[in-house]
Amino acid sequence: MANSDLLVKLGLQNEEFIKALDESKKQIAAMKQKTDAASSSIQSFNSKFKSISSQIFGVTAALGIAKGSVDMFNKAIMSTQNTGDKFVRITDQAKASVDSFYVSLNTGNFSGFLRFAIYLTQLLVGLTA
């Protein structure tokens, strides 16, 4: 009788062991799904980060090229005293016209701005001729 009791206990323990193994397999499968989802999310983040960083690099390169172009333009303009002086006068007049426009907007009186615009047009025509 003791032998049969031992076999029954071993059988029950074997069934419990198999159930525990099945439960562990389910938990491992659920953990694998979660880690796969996290991995996919990380890969998506990496690809977006690479895209953003390449766009930032492109903007930085464009700004560098633009600055180089402006510097080269300024050097070409300022290469002679005559053209440099004319360029400075034109840019000063353009700045003054913008200031005059803002004053006109503030006061609501555009007569001074219009007179200045006509004067500036005549000056520019005289400088380019």
Percent of the chain with pLDDT over 70: 87
Q: How far apart are CA 38 and CA 44, in angstroms?
A: 10
**pLDDT 10s digits, 62-113:** 888 888 888 888 788 778 878 788 888 888 888 887 888 888 888 888 887 7
- CA nearest neighbour of 87 among 100, 70, 97, 74: 74
Domain boundaries, the chain: 81-129
Q: What is the pTM of this model?
A: 0.39
Residues comprising the chain, all counted? 129
